[in-house]
Chain A
């Protein structure tokens, strides 16, 4: 061993005074000798683990557990890891300490975090983390119950949301690496729960209102923010550049990308299907009942886009099941006043509308089931006229209409799908009056397309009727404003969005049944306004005002009356969060 060599061959040490050796070489020799002593000590300890007593050798033990791989060279790391594995496997008393010590390495020291761009540091990170993961796996092989003890510790050591550091990102990277290993077979579900919870917490911490200036004049179906982002220009609104959230946006963005990468590697290894179940469970527990998250839900979107036939279909079906089982109590933790199924149907609608990878047949089949459910409700409903009493019905109708706003043309192109929508007319004409109660902007767009597409003939009275009333929609939406909840509105984070945008349907990409100008080309806003106005001039007179309101981005309309102003102020654009101030 190194130590004994150094001692038996004193020449290397005694060459201090020799003029042939320079000072640096001497220092190097002494250093090597000391390092090899340390190494030898660790190796010797590995061999005598059985003789270590937890009480008598407390100092040695605390010294060992206090060591950090980050400070050492690879060969010392190896010896230390061997020692830790021996300690963990040989006696139950040290198992927890060993596991804790290993998990601590998931958080690199500050000097590593500050220099993550340096090659040398990256190499050291690779050395350390590969050994830590290797040790964890070996311990779990020798002590089968180790993973179940490991998981609570992982949760405990998960770093709190820290403004400056991106420590959370590195920790989550390691968690996901564990998920990929044999430990993940046992604890994968819990790992996803931890990650999802952290994503959600970070998401909620960010004040999205603050970051983006409100453009209250913008309607829901107007040019979306993402079109500007995709052009790479300066964002028309304030500043995702000016990061007032103190690094949290960047952290969240990086976390999302880390998760995306992990999902992609799961897909490459063919385990996405298996992972998806656990992913959905954690989504259901943490995200589905949270209405203010803007970004975290895209994890599901991305997973579905990777594997549309399996995961994509499963996601929609599971959401639909939650909605359809609304009369049965669900065991999931409910933290809000609104029922879970309302959120589920909002997710379903947004998903069906935005998922580019979803085959139209699937969208049609989902729509059919929604239509059938609403039709059934119509038959058996009671006479209560309050919107709150019929939330199921209104949210279902609004979901159908929202999806059709995006998919009307493709659905109507196929006669079979078109015929499945026949009950829709009677549903919308029902005494419960969904066209009055559902969100006006959605209803308006839907009716416009329905008329143009010849889906059914809507009596003109509807178009002229005062659709600007939003009190009714607010009533059915509840205090969490689930009537304005469109969870898959464009993702606001740059790197995450670049992963999503290829599979995402932006409103500008939609070809509605009426003629929308320049829908594919990117262009000046002014032209859209002008052309839009001219077009609508040719159409029904009564439509003019309405069309003006819809198509303009700059405030060409006037705040004619209080109700319109109210509607516009409360536009369900993605910029505004879904909860109104009066809520919890």
Chain B
């Protein structure tokens, strides 16, 4: 899955003097307030972090409240799905016009019918809404399926992804992986045949 990256950052965290008793807790608190929000500086949505305090000393700010700045080194897990990248998520709802997916448990993604390739047709099977591929009968998209989709746009404020199932490498993850495995086997067999021959 694309869109996830791990970066290292050197940060300067300013802490209120009352928190000087437990600096690490205060630092974690500060960084936690940034979780699940898009940050321009980090260029992504902060999902997780790990901090180590670098310096023993800290610079005290001049001013009414003597905040002090602690240098920390943090490794940050960031999520920023760029357009045309691929992401994966679980389907939670299917309707004739849309497929609703949840990515990484927090981001809502939607694929509308105009972005679903011709191959997939909406069907009602056993009372369940699903999309079935007309060319590969086994390729079924229903509630609970892990779906790989291409990102069209990402709304940073609500963490909303508009996705597309137009490219051929999108669809049910399990099915796609099986396909690629089979293709690999066939390639190997071909290769062997060529070698022998």
What residues of chain A have their CB less than 8 Å away from a CB belonging to chain B?
47-50, 86, 89-93, 95, 141-145, 148-149, 329
Contact = CB atoms under 8 A, between A and B. Distances in A.
Contacts of A92: 108, 155, 157-160
B112 A90 contact: yes
Contacts of A91: 110, 155, 160, 162
B102 interface: yes
Nearest to A149: B158
A91 B113 CA distance: 14
A94 B112 CA distance: 16
Nearest to A46: B97
A145 B155 contact: no
B108 A89 contact: yes
Contact residues of A: prevailing secondary structure: helix
Contacts of B18: 329
B42 interface: no
Interface residues of B, number: 24
20 contacts: A47-B96, A49-B97, A49-B98, A50-B98, A50-B110, A89-B98, A91-B110, A92-B155, A92-B157, A95-B158, A141-B92, A142-B102, A143-B158, A143-B160, A144-B102, A144-B105, A145-B36, A145-B106, A145-B158, A145-B159
Given A143-B108, A145-B108, A93 B93 contact: no
A48 B97 contact: yes
B107 interface: yes
Nearest to B100: A142
Contacts of B108: 89, 92, 142-145
A47 B159 CA distance: 23
Q: Top 8 nearest A-B pairs by Cβ distance?
A: A92-B160, A92-B158, A92-B155, A50-B112, A143-B108, A144-B106, A142-B100, A90-B110
A535 B96 CA distance: 88
Contact of B98 (A90, A93, A143, A329): A90
Contact of B97 (A47, A93, A141, A142): A47
A50 B155 contact: no
B114 interface: yes
A47 B112 CA distance: 10
B107 A144 contact: yes
A49 B159 CA distance: 19
Which residue, B102, B108, B112, has most C-beta atoms of chain A within 10 A? B108
A91 B154 CA distance: 10
A342 B16 CA distance: 27
Given A49-B98, A148-B36, 18 more contacts: A47-B97, A50-B113, A89-B98, A89-B100, A91-B110, A92-B155, A92-B157, A92-B159, A92-B160, A95-B158, A95-B160, A141-B92, A142-B108, A144-B102, A144-B106, A145-B106, A145-B158, A149-B158
A93 B153 CA distance: 13
A142 B98 CA distance: 12
A141 B143 CA distance: 13
B166 to A, nearest CB: 14
Contacts of A89: 93, 98, 100, 108, 110
Nearest to B160: A92
Interface in B54-107: 92-93, 95-98, 100, 102, 105-107
A146 to B, nearest CB: 8
A48 B160 CA distance: 18
A86 B102 contact: no
Contacts of B36: 145, 148
Contacts of A329: 18
A89 to B, nearest CB: 6
A226 B57 CA distance: 62
A142 B99 CA distance: 10
Which residue, B18, B105, B112, has most C-beta atoms of chain A within 10 A? B112
B155 A93 contact: yes
A533 B110 CA distance: 83
Interface string B30-65: 000000100000000000000000000000000000
Contacts of A144: 102, 105-108
B92 A142 contact: yes
Interface in B135-194: 155, 157-160, 162
A148 B93 CA distance: 21
B93 to A, nearest CB: 6
Contacts of A95: 158, 160
Contacts of A142: 92-93, 100, 102, 108
Nearest to B102: A144
B191 to A, nearest CB: 45
Nearest to A138: B93
A233 B157 CA distance: 61
Nearest to A328: B21
Contacts of A93: 155
Given A90-B112, A95-B158, A149-B158, A50 B92 contact: no
A90 B153 CA distance: 12
Contacts of B106: 144-145
Contacts of B97: 47-50
B90 to A, nearest CB: 11
B80 to A, nearest CB: 16
Which residue, A50, A86, A95, has most C-beta atoms of chain B within 10 A? A50
A50 B100 CA distance: 12
Contacts of A90: 98, 110, 112
B143 to A, nearest CB: 11
A86 B95 CA distance: 10
Contacts of B102: 142, 144
A138 B36 CA distance: 21
B159 A86 contact: no
Nearest to A89: B100
A93 B162 CA distance: 12
Which residue, B113, B114, B160, has most C-beta atoms of chain A within 10 A? B160
A475 B162 CA distance: 67
B57 to A, nearest CB: 24
Contacts of A145: 36, 106-108, 158-159
A90 B108 CA distance: 9
B39 to A, nearest CB: 16
